[in-house]
Amino acid sequence: MLSAHQLQVSCADLFGAVSGGHAGKAPGLGVDLVHVPRIARALDTFGERFLRRLFTAVEARDAGSEPMLRVERLAARFAAKEAAIKAFGLAEVGVSWRDLEVERLPGGVPVLRVHGRAAEVLRSRGIAHWALSLSHDGDHAVAVVAIVQPAVSAPSAP
């Protein structure tokens, strides 16, 4: 199994190949892997302060109340925020963690909502559509964010 560092290096190599060697620029795809026990330790150490700094009330609610599942879900949401920062090229912009919000729709589908400074930057860059995928199992949570173009419907026949 690849370590988180090896996965980051592999992804960076892939982005460099796909973008013609411009791995430093936002490729429109962000991936992040989080070690769930790290989030559990932060919650144990900092409690509500940690929750309020990184997560919105919606995210805290959607994470549920069963302790282990809650930590896994929060780790996946943290991974989503990191993946979004990579996909959207926000690392140098200075956005709040809470500007990036993962909400679970009825049926469990996660969506990424963007607020505040992050929303301003995306508007200025013409980024309006993206996809999010989350997964968590045991000690790991992963998220992928990809900028997508809206589907163009075929012209109707006369």
Q: Which segments are annotated as binding site for Mg(2+)?
A: 32, 82
Which H/E stretch holds residue 155? Answer: none
Q: Which of 145, 69, 66, 65 lies closest to 102 in space, CA to CA?
A: 145
Tokens of 15: 């982005």
Sequence ranges of the binding site:
32, 82
User: Distance between CA 142 and CA 132 in Å, rounded?
Assistant: 11
User: Distance between CA 81 and CA 145 in Å, rounded?
Assistant: 9
Contacts with 115 (C-beta within 8 Å, 6 or more apart), sequence order: 98, 99, 100, 101
Contacts by 123-127, CB closer than 8 A, 24 or more apart: 125/88, 125/89, 127/88
